[in-house]
Each structure stands twice: as structure tokens, then as C-alpha cells.
Amino acid sequence: MGSYAKATMTGFICRLCSEYKKSVIHFYSAKAQELELLKKLTLLPITIDKYDNLPKTICQDCIEKLNLQYRLVDRIRKSFEIQQRHRLFHSNGRCPLECPLYGTNSYDSSDTSLQQSE
């Protein structure tokens, strides 16, 4: 018989970071559905197949990073949509009240707060 110390426990390996973790979430569990993990994983250049022989679990650290990435991409998409609508409202170079960016300040090269964050 083999030793438990040398046993590989594939159910506790995170699919993203490949580290052994005590606490993981299975991609096809109710908790994963609640967290929309499979939807968020579509942002990554990997594929998750229910029947492949790779781990189907994700650790909390990777979930947090995935959530950060998802929020960033979602914010970028929403910003892009607003900017596209913004362009539609400008036929005379002025920002009308109906414009989604009406009242926001455009970038001014003299604004030092923007320059400091770069």
C-alpha cells in the first residue's frame, strides 16, 4: 500500500493557479452558479469542459482575482458604450443635455490630478 503523505488529491487543486488548497469550489456546484464562475471564466484564454481530466475546482484567491478582472472588464465595456452614445449626440461639437457624458469634464492638460496618477 502507498503512503497518504505521497497521495495526490486532485479534488483540491485549483484549476487556475494549480496550487493545493484546503477550501475550493467546484465549477459545477450551486455555489459556483451563484457566483457566476463559469460566466466569468469566459474572460480567460482557457476552456473548461465538464468531462476533461483537469481539475474542476477554483480556490478563493483565484475567485477574488477573477472577480476583480470581471469588474474591470465590465466597467470598461460600460464606459465604451457610454462613449459610443456620447459620440452620437455631437453634431455641432457641443454636449447636449441628453448626452450620457453631459456635465463631465473633458481632459484638460493643465489638470495636475490626472498627470500625477500617470
Please indicate, yes or no, if residue 76 is contained in any of the structural domains.
Answer: yes
Helix (H) or strand (E) holding 58: strand 57-59
Number of C-alpha atoms within 13 angstroms, CB side, residue 94? 3
Please indicate, yes or no, if residue 96 is contained in any of the structural domains.
Answer: no
Q: Which three cell numbers stand for residue 32?
A: 459556483
- Residues 37-82: pLDDT tens digits? 999 999 999 999 999 999 999 999 999 999 999 999 999 999 888 7
- The torsion angle over the Cα atoms of residues 51, 52, 56 and 62, rounded to 10 degrees, is -140
Please indicate, yes or no, if residue 98 is contained in any of the structural domains.
Answer: no
Q: Domain total for the chain?
A: 1
Please indicate, yes or no, if residue 31 is contained in any of the structural domains.
Answer: yes
Please indicate, yes or no, if residue 37 is contained in any of the structural domains.
Answer: yes
Binding residues: 14, 17, 59, 62
Domain of residue 78, CATH code: 3.40.1800.20
Per-residue pLDDT, 85: 74
Mean pLDDT, residues 86-101 taken together: 68
- Give the span between the Cα atoms of 69 and 90, in whole angstroms: 32
Binding residues for Zn(2+): 14, 17, 59, 62
Q: DSSP class of residue 6?
A: G
pTM recorded for the entire structure: 0.66
Per-residue pLDDT, 6: 58
Please indicate, yes or no, if residue 84 is contained in any of the structural domains.
Answer: yes
